[in-house]
Structure 1
Amino acid sequence: MGRLSVATKMDFLPLFRAFRETLKAFPNAWLILAGQEQPIGFAQQLQHFADEVGIRDKLITLTDIPQEAKPALYNCADIFVSLSDSLQENFGLTVLEAMACGLPVIASDWDGYRELVVDGETGFLVPTWWGQCDAPFNLIALAGAWETEHFYLAQCVALDWEKLENALQTLLADSELRREMGHQGRLKAEAYDWQNIVSRYEQLWQESTRFLFNPVTPASNFAVPQFFETFRHYPSHILQEDTQVMLTSLGVALSEGKEWLLLYDELRFVLDEGLLELFKDALSESPCSFGTLLRRIRTYRPDCPRLWVEYHILWLAKQGFVALRQRSER
């Protein structure tokens, strides 16, 4: 209902794969993607990926939707899903629109989204993971190509794929739960009516004037941004030395040649497919800690930077091939 963009909104491949698994239990379900495609032709690429994943016959893609048609489209749906992974997404107007239309929402537990969706009450929040692997992309900002840097950074924001699949199946199985969550969401959306919001903006402006000449913190130099340090509060979890890493059933299928990697063209300049292959052997004895995994990888590639291993393992987790767990969750 907003933009269909992998650079500034979300990666659709994790949703495609989770939906494919959901179809095994709910074969009558349909997935509708609705919004303005960016860039032009992206919807066709999504159709290609849907074909590769095996859900093309269950996917409807709608672009350039008239504003007046949006309420009707929301009302045709049973669930709204938005899995933002972009650093520029700090609120989520479409999430609020869906709640106002009485839909339960499945959203990524990511910055402002977690302030909109009450997990277990108005929908479900899918935990996210990130790591300090931004250094190669911070310099791209010097070229002014913000969509490029945001794309590469978003590709290492991982989702809890199992929680996503469970959320989809839980809501599809329970119409009463959908109704109740949708009702609670509609009530929460009323707090964002302009009559309530404008007065809060005015209060915020007045409070902000106190810091105009007496800033609380010194100004930062954003010519070369430090994305991780600035936005590390966005995800649910940060990849740590003791984070547990394990192959999922999808990852096992990949290692057996029954599943395959799907890459956006831009990722071919960044992802090291040889390194991705090494993870198959390194994770043959899983679960293991990320620290252990890093040491195993370095037996094959002694000079491989930690941030590069982080980037690749987060990408694999994003696509559902590995699962990440805090040590206490094992």
Structure 2
Amino acid sequence: MRAMQVTELGQPLTLEDIPEPQAAPGQVVVKVRTCGLNFGDLLIIKGTYQEKPQLPFTLGMELCGTVTAVGEGVTDLLTGQRVAAYCGFDALADYAAIPANVCVPVPDEMTDEHAAAFLIAYGTSHVALSYKAGLKPGERLLVLGASGGVGLTAVELGKLMGAEVVAVARGAEKLQVAKQAGADHLVNSETDDIREMVKALGGADVVYDPIGGDQFRAALRACNPEARLIPLGFASGEVPQIPANHLLVKNLTVIGFYWGGYTRVNPAVLTDSFRELIAWYVEGRIHPHVSHVLPLEEANDALDLLRTRKATGKVVVRIS
């Protein structure tokens, strides 16, 4: 089968012909239709992600496809069933063997592109805002990187949860995408002073930050007393150092959050979140934003859209 693999860290993916996988006990084999790309894929290629698979390996964290084989002990999935899955790796291929317990049945109303773009982006924002930060109606939510894959879902879900949403993104075009997702206030990170603009609005009660660096520091200084900050990525390339004295003065809480870790420590958090999110999708309350869909052979071009920040929302690779 075809697979886009990392054969050398820091180098473009190569299209390889590798054996089709078999379903081990507890696994299913999925014929992949679409794969959603994520910023974490870029970190994996560089070797700087939390998890470091052995070379060579097939890239791709999340997928939508059809179950073609069921391993021993799997009773809740059937061949021919359409599923989405967070698999961590292996999604940029014709077939993937993945644990059955990370698969989520996909409703007929959901397209392949939306299903592949759904789990990580919406799951990350939903668990972060609801389960971790306890976002309440009427609170002011500051979203950094608001036009990106996870940031845009944080804008949409924050508004759905009743928050007043302040979106920070680079340039007017990306801010317009955030506005369409429900942002109440727009801050241009290229030209505006994030700290001063947020303070002028009344300060932030919750900060959602996939960026880090200077933007995190500005957001920290714009927080209201008892605000909660969620650093969940460092797209700027800089992991911020948090001054503890600032936390003390305002009684701030910084919440560590790695969404993928819940597959091991508490999978029920994710399955409960998916159940609610899929219901919202079917009801028409959330609308995934996919800016680009490219074929498997152009996966490197698709990754470049993330690397150069030319995409908004999600980039999806169509396999079949």
TM-score range, shorter chain: 0.3 to 0.5
What is the TM-score of this pair, normalised by structure 2? Answer: 0.34
What is the TM-score of this pair, normalised by structure 1? Answer: 0.33
Q: If each structure's strand is expressed as a fraction of its own residues, which one has the higher value?
A: 2
Q: If each structure's helix is expressed as a fraction of its own residues, which one has the higher value?
A: 1
Q: Larger C-alpha radius of gyration, 1 or 2?
A: 1
